[in-house]
Amino acid sequence: MMWRDRIVTLGVALAAWLLPGCLWHGMSHVPADLQEGLGEIESKPRGVAPSSWDAHPPQPLPEQRSSGAEELQSSRASESVPRSLSSELFPGAASPQSSPSASLPLTPALMSGPPISPDASQTQTIVQTGGRPDRPPAPPPEEHPVLAAWRCYRDRQPDKARDRLKDFDPSTRELLERLLPLVVSLSERKLDRIPPGELSALVRRFEALAEMLRPRAGLEITEVRFCRTIRRFGDYDPLPADHAFQAGAGDRPGDFVQVYVELRNFTCRKNGPFYETALASSLTIRDAKGALVCRLGEPLGRPAQVDRLLSRRLDCFLNCHFYVPPNLPAGEYKLVIEVKDVTGLPEGVKAHDSHVATWEVPFRIASPAYASGTWNNADAVP
């Protein structure tokens, strides 16, 4: 063989060896029949058998056809000719059987892989949802009537707000209709920037709410003190906490006792031009173990009396006073004070438990002073 023929043969071998890579990166120069074969290969999933590739082998390029190599016209021309020539010229090259993947070039379709099938958790979710994994989400819960009414008051639609509150009971509906506009007014501006006149109007509206709620709240005793003198609400002269009252002897009573009792959440009812409040009180003395010793009734106690004023009462106190009962031994006792709010109740009707308040205070009794000859009538409190 001439050296020129050797050079031609070597050039054909190198071109055939480089041909597969050029086929995939130069699609614009590949014939139409070869492009159809490549399209079918890309549509196949990963793992396709070599026989599917054999069904549509790529055709050699025109340059290969003109080379006179008859092997390039067979069904496996793209692999057998280049590999045979390369094995002849380069004996150390790997055979096609040594690499199963060498017969299939990597295309984007093969590299992307087949569609991923749903796993067990996805299948279980579909079964639990009745085969409707794409069903629309559940509608949001209906807005609370109070929140909806607040939005209506904010949008200056009081009629719609009252319609939202129609399902509440009358007392609750009346309270909400007064409270929600106040909340809207306070939420629209800073409190420090509200003029004093408007704040005064807000205070009056809050006081009206308090008066509406106060009769429904429980009557409370907030302060109890033994006093030397009681003048008015919050104005009194208290005795020391360890003060001991003198006991009586024979048919003579002991010291005069004044108890200041301050109250909260009492009823003040409008009746004609007056505001009325009626509170009844009873006092009992019990020993240290809680056993009843003496019940202080009329005239020592204070029965229910109606207090009438031309203005609404904002504070209330009782002056419960009595004399230490005669023949009460010296010792430690408890004074139990019970107050009932009977405003507006007919005579004989029992007050509700929420309108009854009770308080216990330590009550100390000392031996009569006159037993030692130091007591006289001037020591008695008129």
What is the model's pLDDT at position 32?
A: 56
Strands (E), the chain: 220-232, 235-238, 244-246, 256-264, 269-271, 274-287, 292-296, 302-309, 316-323, 331-341, 356-366
Residue type at 41?
I
What pLDDT band is residue 359 in, cutting at 50, 70 and 90? very high
| Strand partners of residue 322 | 257
What is the model's pLDDT at position 127?
A: 47
| β-bridge pairing 302-309 and 316-323 | unpaired
| CATH value of 220-379 in 3.60.20.10, 2.60.40.770, 1.10.150.300, 2.60.40.1250 | 2.60.40.770
Q: Is pLDDT at 55 greater than 70 in this prediction? A: no
Specify the pTM. 0.57
Q: Which residue has the tokens 């009460």?
A: 328
CA distance 188 to 195: 14
Q: DSSP per residue over 287-331, as a string?
A: ETTS-EEEEE-TTTSEEEEEEEESS----EEEEEEEEPPTTPPSE
338: which residues sit within 8 A by CB, 6+ positions away?
281, 282, 283, 284, 356, 357, 358
Domain boundaries, the chain: 3-111, 145-216, 220-379
CA distance 29 to 348: 114
What pLDDT band is residue 111 in, cutting at 50, 70 and 90? very low
Mean pLDDT computed over 308-314: 89
What is the model's pLDDT at position 168?
A: 92
Assess contact for 341 and 217: CB atoms under 8 A: no
Dump pLDDT digits (tens) for 242-284: 899 998 887 788 899 999 999 999 988 888 999 999 998 889 9
CA distance 346 to 303: 15
Across 53-57, 249-253, 348-352, least confident range? 53-57
Q: Which of 170, 171, 148, 20 is nearest to 96 (CA)?
A: 20
What is the model's pLDDT at position 361?
A: 94
| Strand partners of residue 236 | 230
Dump pLDDT digits (tens) for 16-43: 666 655 554 555 554 555 555 555 554 5
Residue type at 242?
D
| Phi, psi dihedrals of residue 301, rounded to the nearest 5° | -80, -170
